[in-house]
Amino acid sequence: MNPKNDLNLIADKLPEWLEESRKYTVLGRPASYIPELAYAPAEALGVTVMGADGTEITAGDCGLTFTMQSISKVFTLLLALMDHGEDGVFQKVGMEPTGDDFNSMLKLELVPPGIPFNPLINAGAIAISSLIHGVSPSDKLSRILAFFREVSGDPDLTYNEAVYASESAHAHRNRSLAYFLKDNHVLDGDVEEVLDLYFKHCSIEVTCRHLARMALVLALNGKDPVSGRELIPKRYVAIAKTFMITCGMYNASGEFAIKVGMPAKSGVAGGILALVPGRFGVGVIGPALNHKGNSTAGVHLLQTMSEAMDWSIF
Amino acid sequence: MNPKNDLNLIADKLPEWLEESRKYTVLGRPASYIPELAYAPAEALGVTVMGADGTEITAGDCGLTFTMQSISKVFTLLLALMDHGEDGVFQKVGMEPTGDDFNSMLKLELVPPGIPFNPLINAGAIAISSLIHGVSPSDKLSRILAFFREVSGDPDLTYNEAVYASESAHAHRNRSLAYFLKDNHVLDGDVEEVLDLYFKHCSIEVTCRHLARMALVLALNGKDPVSGRELIPKRYVAIAKTFMITCGMYNASGEFAIKVGMPAKSGVAGGILALVPGRFGVGVIGPALNHKGNSTAGVHLLQTMSEAMDWSIF
Amino acid sequence: MNPKNDLNLIADKLPEWLEESRKYTVLGRPASYIPELAYAPAEALGVTVMGADGTEITAGDCGLTFTMQSISKVFTLLLALMDHGEDGVFQKVGMEPTGDDFNSMLKLELVPPGIPFNPLINAGAIAISSLIHGVSPSDKLSRILAFFREVSGDPDLTYNEAVYASESAHAHRNRSLAYFLKDNHVLDGDVEEVLDLYFKHCSIEVTCRHLARMALVLALNGKDPVSGRELIPKRYVAIAKTFMITCGMYNASGEFAIKVGMPAKSGVAGGILALVPGRFGVGVIGPALNHKGNSTAGVHLLQTMSEAMDWSIF
Amino acid sequence: MNPKNDLNLIADKLPEWLEESRKYTVLGRPASYIPELAYAPAEALGVTVMGADGTEITAGDCGLTFTMQSISKVFTLLLALMDHGEDGVFQKVGMEPTGDDFNSMLKLELVPPGIPFNPLINAGAIAISSLIHGVSPSDKLSRILAFFREVSGDPDLTYNEAVYASESAHAHRNRSLAYFLKDNHVLDGDVEEVLDLYFKHCSIEVTCRHLARMALVLALNGKDPVSGRELIPKRYVAIAKTFMITCGMYNASGEFAIKVGMPAKSGVAGGILALVPGRFGVGVIGPALNHKGNSTAGVHLLQTMSEAMDWSIF
């Protein structure tokens, strides 16, 4: 477990692993529920690995920009935990995987008291968005952007206007979820304001490098890899990592835990943020998705790396 | 089956049946999901029976005004059938009872293609509202009001502004349903406009007498009881009566069919519209509801009348 | 509504209606869940109409023998009502359509207290089988056979051994339902004994003529068409007819009520028993089923007849 | 992270932690679904911690014998993996948490192809039991007992006849699950034989000491703590540990992962097997269960220990 040797091995092998995994892009296709996502290049695959000392290794289409989508939910959860503590957050969302699709409403109707089962399904993430402190909608957005910028190390990080507009215009199912939550007394405040914030943080635009840096902060238990300063309390990072294992890959999280074993979170733009505790942050982009919403080639690449490097936490 | 004798018998017995049934008001309570409904007098019970010749018999609190709520769905269905025909309507809603609560979303998610199972559950009635012809929202409302006024014989029938406002402000679950339908491509047009029309027709204010008159038109296969003119094609009335048997009393429709056997439709303000084919229209108001949303005393009164007069169609 | 004229018209038209409907056999196929049913001739279609005076009209493959399957559930319900009264029966089964498949277990798990929603779905019919009086399994079977023989007018009616054996050997889903009911305290007695009785009454072998005669007894409110003797109390027949409208055609009952409007019950061997109150009993056989378990051609034939003769009760 | 110091600290603190946690027994009660389990002492709480070198620390009622129940499922899964490999096992069961009760049948009906979501829910464990190699039922049982004896280090380990008989007599819901699986083509062979094997391995009788020893073998990646011999391939142990995190504590697994963070498996007799990778095996018994089926005091004790010793894997 010599970090230096590991980095050399990764640098050596990564192009080969990536090209092998790229073949799996044909098994999926970009998300089409909003037009903006459907434009993504289906055959793209890119990766950035960042070591604890900040060393970066990249391969493939790592210059591709894309929106965080569900990956942003990990960091709004962290911000909500910093704003409200565990007790405050877990009054609004539970801690259990659902076994259902990420936009399912079944358990909201069937399981009293009708709160989202966890903060990483859509219903839960919308509830979390309603918890972000701020005196106004723009203040809440500013706080989210400030936090994401700090964790990613990029002061220019912002959301993509076109994707945000497209999300907002096509978000009938998320509106349905949000109004259901309102009816169940889970959402405080104005539903459309909460949704607007949710669409904006889902539309934050990144590259693999951003994801790798954000993952590395989690891998280092919340510490900035350069300054060593605590950006996020360790306990909250532990909570986030736990959810990434149990619920991070939609309703394929259990399979990912068995086959890859890395805390990870995927988004429907094709991104995956993954980490090796104490050691590496990883960012992957591969827009072609399987039917559960995860990057086909991205999952294959992470499985290849995890097996080769013995990265599973189990 | 001498109508004259029947009317005499009803006139004779109705006060007694009503007072006996009034005791059942204590087993329920007025709907509370919007404040305006909760103000209704819990112990009230009123009834109007209208014979085919227009003779009226009343008992109890038949002067009480209340909103139609779900009872209006029978007549928007009829208007939609007149606007689009059977094929047009049944592309948007099915013909089956659900076995679920009237505001349930389970089958929209679980049963492809995700259209409402029938036009009398909330999801189905919202879909039906989207089908009403009109060049503008106000035109659609005007057409609904004109139709309801013609069937009820009251040119002044209109919706209650306070109840409408309260519905609209507290309709999170209905909004959730409507956006889910939009996502399933069941709703054309603007969701909020459709909902606005839906809230307005649910808020149309009536007395038992209106309901009895409207029921009588259905009992006469769509003919005006005074002029004999066809207000609604017979085939569409048959469709409406069938739905009233299979789905008219929420998810207690099966029990009502067994115990009462009259085509009927209830609303959460406590009204019930019921009919004896060819012979009688009946309007009942009793705001105290059981947990399935039907008037406790109203159901008891109809069961008493049906058993005494042998009114079951089965 | 002259019965004589109607019979003449039917006799005249029936062959044409039947051949027209036979084309719809290609849209379905015989049930395959047990091998014995799959052997049935897919293109067969036969019908018997029996008038109140016992006059019979037949067309097509009316000599074909087949097993009653779910059609038997109407008559075991009637026998259970005669054995226990309404209160006794409705402690074990409800009165509501489910909207689910006939062998679904969802509502048993989801809706307290976990009793079958109605006596015509599999779970409900198994519960009903457990209610049949008798000092021994063979005594219960004898009582069922005696009742079915009396209603059908055929003292030799019995079950098909091969179909019964095949049912019993392949009835994993029904066993699953029965043990679930046992766990929910719905079934008294030995599960396998109850199932054995259920498989046997489902395997009772008939022709269209039997079904027409049994339907006619129901059409005559329980009276024997020849002797005029009451075989079944009128109230129980009304209950059965109500269930035939709300639940008789599996989860296509609502559509059948709208399009045909006759109290009816179908079975997965392709039989349909239907009736015109006070006037006609109808038996149909068409083994090719649609995906909801109803005879494709049989439903078409009944719709044709109902429309031509104005037989809908609505 | 000095093992010696840790053991001293645990030895010092364990009695205090245990007595503090014992107070939580009043919040639950022993399982009552079979009479034998209901007899367990509700206020009991016992624990054994076993270090990698075999050192044991005990506190409370660690002499209490109890049946493994669902804890046995971890080891039948391991045996099935050794018998069939990953591909063979994962044709019959999935890898996902369900979010539903451990005996739920919803997903078997709703989610094609109807295989159990994971091997630790009842449906999954019954499917796993059907995979155990053996020329006869008794040979399969012998193989299970031999494996459990080897892992526990107790050549006399066996099942409790009275609990087994009680399970078998009251197992209507498990029979229902098994026949549903048979209908879904998940179970090969005779259903009753599979269930018999399942009831027997659930009835294997242990003390905390056995659980701690079995947990320690998993903590050591499958190696015998005394001989160092590999009893289970490391890869299969990793799979088991993953399932213990995602599904080990029924539908409170997510919460347990957040609050305790140890791979663990509970049983309805009140036992919990838990481990610290590479370091400790832990066995707990506390028969009073919460409504999700986990020992109230046992969970509290493990949370106390995990927080004090920093044992979470996250």
8 A C-beta contact, residue A290 and residue A278: no
D198 and D210 fall within a common domain: no
- In this structure, what token pair is assigned to residue A154? 């990029």
User: Quick check: D176 and C173 CB within 8 A?
Assistant: no
Using a CB-CB distance cutoff of 8 angstroms, which residues of chain B are in contact with residue C251? 96
User: Quick check: B109 and A106 CB within 8 A?
Assistant: yes
d(CA D281, CA C176): 39
B60 and B182 fall within a common domain: no
d(CA A25, CA A160): 25
Percent over 90 (pLDDT), chain B:
95
Indicate the residue of D99, D246, D314 with minimum beta-carbon distance to A98: D99
B159 is catalytic: no
Percent over 90 (pLDDT), chain D:
95
D107 and D255 fall within a common domain: no
Q: Which of D145, D170, D202 is the last residue of a domain?
A: D202
Indicate the residue of D255, D263, D312 with minimum beta-carbon distance to A96: D255
What confidence score (pLDDT) does residue C1 get?
54
- Backbone phi, then psi, for D85, in 5-degree steps? 75, 170
What confidence score (pLDDT) does residue A1 get?
54
A217 and A294 fall within a common domain: yes
Chain A nearest-CA distance from D281, in A, is 15
d(CA A232, CA C271): 69
Buried/exposed code over D260-285 (b: 16+ C-beta within 10 A; e: otherwise) = bbbbbbbbbbbbbbbbbbebbbbbbb
Using a CB-CB distance cutoff of 8 angstroms, which residues of chain C are in contact with residue B258? 95, 239, 242-243
8 A C-beta contact, residue B242 and residue B78: no
Using a CB-CB distance cutoff of 8 angstroms, which residues of chain B are in contact with residue C253? 96-97, 246
D226 is catalytic: no
Instruction: Label residue D36 by pLDDT band (50, 70, 90).
Output: confident
Domain presence at residue B47: yes
Q: What is the mean pLDDT of residues C263-269?
A: 98
C185 and C82 fall within a common domain: yes
List the subunits that have 3+ CB pairs under 8 angstroms with C.
Answer: B, D
Average pLDDT over chain A reads 96
Instruction: Label residue A216 by pLDDT band (50, 70, 90).
Output: very high
Q: What is the pLDDT of residues C137-191, one digit of tens each?
A: 999 999 999 999 999 999 999 999 999 999 999 999 999 999 999 999 999 899 9
| Cis ω for the linkage preceding A97 (within 30 of 0) | no
Q: What is the pLDDT of residues B164-197, one digit of tens each?
A: 999 999 999 999 999 999 999 999 899 999 999 9
Domain count, chain D: 2
8 A C-beta contact, residue A126 and residue A174: yes
User: Quick check: B182 and A191 CB within 8 A?
Assistant: no
8 A C-beta contact, residue D245 and residue D301: no
What CATH number is associated with residue D51?
3.40.710.10
Average pLDDT over chain B reads 96
Q: Kindly tell me the sign of the dihedral angle through the C-alpha atoms of D36, D38, D41, D44.
A: positive
What CATH number is associated with residue A124?
1.10.1500.10
pTM above 0.90, yes or no: yes
Q: How many cross-chain Cβ pairs, A to B, lie less than 8 Å apart? A: 49
Domain presence at residue D222: yes
Using a CB-CB distance cutoff of 8 angstroms, which residues of chain B are in contact with residue A130? none
D22 and D34 fall within a common domain: yes
d(CA D95, CA A252): 8
Chain D nearest-CA distance from C177, in A, is 6
Q: What is the mean pLDDT of residues C182-206?
A: 97
- Examine the pLDDT at D1 and tell me if it is beyond 60: no
- Determine which of C108, C173, C183, C190 to mutate to test the interface with D (most D C-beta atoms within 10 Å): C183
d(CA A163, CA A161): 6
User: Quick check: B245 and C247 CB within 8 A?
Assistant: no
Residue C100 sits at the vertex; the CA angle it makes with C98 and C101, to the nearest 5 degrees, is 125
User: Quick check: C191 and D172 CB within 8 A?
Assistant: yes
D82 and D197 fall within a common domain: yes
Percent over 90 (pLDDT), chain A:
95
Nearest CA in chain B to A191: B172
Using a CB-CB distance cutoff of 8 angstroms, which residues of chain A are in contact with residue B106? 106, 109-110
Burial class (CB in 10 A: 0-12, 13-18, 19+), C227: exposed
User: Quick check: D176 and C177 CB within 8 A?
Assistant: yes
What confidence score (pLDDT) does residue C52 get?
95
User: Quick check: C173 and D191 CB within 8 A?
Assistant: no
d(CA A199, CA C142): 68
Q: What is the pLDDT of residues B198-219, one digit of tens each?
A: 999 999 999 999 999 999 999 9
Residue D110 sits at the vertex; the CA angle it makes with D106 and D115, to the nearest 5 degrees, is 80
Q: What is the mean pLDDT of residues D149-157?
A: 98
- Examine the pLDDT at B1 and tell me if it is beyond 70: no
Domain presence at residue C236: yes
B146 and B103 fall within a common domain: yes
Biggest CA-to-CA distance, chain A: 55
Q: What is the pLDDT of residues D205-222, one digit of tens each?
A: 999 999 999 999 999 999
D268 is catalytic: yes
d(CA B306, CA C9): 35
SS3 string, chain C, reads: CCHHHHHHHHHHHHHHHHHHHHHHHHHCECCCCCHHHHCCCCCCCEEEEEECCCCEEEEECCCCCEECHHHHHHHHHHHHHHHHHHHHHCCCCCCCCCCCCCCCCHHHHHCCCCCCCCCCCHHHHHHHHCCCCCCCHHHHHHHHHHHHHHHHCCCCCCECHHHHHHHHHHCHHHHHHHHHHHHCCCCCCCHHHHHHHHHHHHCEEECHHHHHHHHHHHHCCCECCCCCCECCCHHHHHHHHHHHHHHCCHHHHHHHHHHCCCCEEECCCCEEEEEECCCEEEEEECCCECCCCCEHHHHHHHHHHHHHHCCCCC
8 A C-beta contact, residue C143 and residue C135: no
d(CA C301, CA C25): 11
Choosing from B70, B129, B130, B152, the catalytic residue is B70
Check whether A70 is labelled as a binding-site residue: yes
d(CA C286, CA C40): 9
**How crowded is residue A134: how many other Cβ atoms within 10 Å of its Cβ?**
14
Which residue shows structure tokens 């004259």? Answer: B4
- Examine the pLDDT at B2 and tell me if it is beyond 90: no
Q: What is the mean pLDDT of residues D91-119?
A: 95
Q: How many cross-chain Cβ pairs, A to D, lie less than 8 Å apart? A: 95
**Element (DSSP H or E) covering residue D56:** strand D56-60
| Helix boundaries (H) for chain D | 3-22, 35-38, 72-89, 106-110, 122-129, 137-152, 161-169, 172-183, 191-202, 208-219, 234-247, 253-259, 296-309
d(CA C74, CA D53): 70
Q: Which of A202, A237, A262 is the last residue of a domain?
A: A202
SS3 string, chain A, reads: CCHHHHHHHHHHHHHHHHHHHHHHHHHCECCCCCHHHHCCCCCCCEEEEEECCCCEEEEECCCCCEECHHHHHHHHHHHHHHHHHHHHHCCCCCCCCCCCCCCCCHHHHHCCCCCCCCCCCHHHHHHHHCCCCCCCHHHHHHHHHHHHHHHHCCCCCCECHHHHHHHHHHCHHHHHHHHHHHHCCCCCCCHHHHHHHHHHHHCEEECHHHHHHHHHHHHCCCECCCCCCECCCHHHHHHHHHHHHHHCCHHHHHHHHHHCCCCEEECCCCEEEEEECCCEEEEEECCCECCCCCEHHHHHHHHHHHHHHCCCCC
Give, rounded to a whole angstrom, the gap between the first and last alpha carbons of chain B: 16
Instruction: Label residue C297 by pLDDT band (50, 70, 90).
Output: very high
The candidate with the shortest Cα–Cα distance to D78, out of D281, D207, D241, D187, is D241
- Examine the pLDDT at A116 and tell me if it is beyond 80: yes
Q: Which residues pair with D280 in a beta bridge?
A: D51, D276
C120 and C172 fall within a common domain: yes
Q: Which of A180, A202, A224 is the last residue of a domain?
A: A202
D64 and D96 fall within a common domain: no
Choosing from C21, C24, C70, C282, the catalytic residue is C70
Choosing from B74, B250, B282, B284, the catalytic residue is B250
User: Quick check: B96 and C251 CB within 8 A?
Assistant: yes
What 3-state DSSP class applies to D41?
A: coil
**Element (DSSP H or E) covering residue D46:** strand D46-51
Question: Which residues, other chains included, contact B98 with Cβ-Cβ below 8 Å and sequence gap of 6+?
Answer: B104, B107, B117, B118, B121, B247, B251, C97, C99
Interface confidence: ipTM more than 0.85: yes
Q: What is the pLDDT of residues B96-135, one digit of tens each?
A: 999 999 999 999 999 999 999 999 999 999 999 999 999 9
Domain presence at residue A9: yes
Q: Residue A37 is part of which domain span?
A: 3-66+207-309
What radius of gyration, in Å, describes the C-alpha atoms of chain B? 18
D173 and D230 fall within a common domain: no
* Interface residue ranges in chain D relative to chain A, Cβ cutoff 8 Å: 94-100, 107, 117-118, 238-239, 241-243, 245-247, 251-255, 257-258, 261, 263, 312-314
d(CA B249, CA B120): 9
B77 and B198 fall within a common domain: yes
Domain presence at residue B314: no
Domain presence at residue C304: yes
| Cis ω for the linkage preceding B113 (within 30 of 0) | yes
Domain presence at residue A96: yes
Q: Which residues pair with D281 in a beta bridge?
A: D50, D275
What confidence score (pLDDT) does residue A77 get?
98
What confidence score (pLDDT) does residue A122 get?
96
Q: What is the mean pLDDT of residues D108-137?
A: 97
Domain presence at residue D314: no
User: Quick check: A179 and B183 CB within 8 A?
Assistant: no
What confidence score (pLDDT) does residue C5 get?
84
Instruction: Label residue D3 by pLDDT band (50, 70, 90).
Output: low
